Amino acid sequence: MKRTRLRRNPPQRPAYHAEWKAEHPFCWRCGWREGQWSEVWPRRLETHEMVRGPFRHKAFFLPYCWIRTCNVCHAEHFDSMPVVRQLAYKRLHDRKHYDRRAVNRLRRRTPSAITEYQVLAEVEKLKLAGYVPEGGNE
């Protein structure tokens, strides 16, 4: 079976992805919004999938795997960020679709591979570092 790369041949996002993007019109890490001035050009908002590797195709269709980010933060931070920290951003900004157990299962781990305690510890680290979630749920 021939392998396809997502960058060259991404699957079509589902219709509810547009609704999810409208609910999250800014980068969850830096707060940048479309239309805002930026030193980096071109700058755009993207959707990052928390799940990598062979399971990423499934993550394209599951809102609990999505993170809203600008292309700068996507390349510099989210691509190398531990999943537990990505779950902390998800918990702060998208509680409606936050499901760490489902993310663990999709990654072929036990549902408790990353615990809620670990995610809450990351949330506290973000807050202690001065991170204030724009439009967040906490």
Q: Please tell me the predicted confidence (pLDDT) of residue 12.
A: 79
Alpha-carbon distance 47 to 38, whole Å?
Answer: 19
10-residue mean pLDDT profile of the chain (138 residues): values are 56 86 94 84 90 85 94 91 96 96 94 97 95 66
Instruction: Tell me whether residue 7 is in a domain.
Output: no
Strand partners, 68: 47
CA distances to 68, 69, 110 from 89, rounded to whole Å, are 10, 11, 21
- Considering the domain boundaries, does residue 133 fall inside one? no
- State pTM to two decimals: 0.86
Task: Evaluate whether 45 touches 27 at the Cβ level (below 8 Å).
Answer: yes
Within a domain: 3: no
The single-letter DSSP state of residue 1 is -
Per-residue confidence (pLDDT) for residue 111, from 0 to 100? 94
pLDDT at 1: 47
Indicate whether 93 belongs to any domain.
Answer: yes
> Does residue 124 belong to any structural domain of this protein?
yes
Q: Does any domain span residue 4? A: no
Question: Is position 10 within any domain?
Answer: no
User: How many domains does one find in the chain?
Assistant: 1
Domain of 64?
Answer: 16-128
The answer to the question of residue 6 being in a domain is no
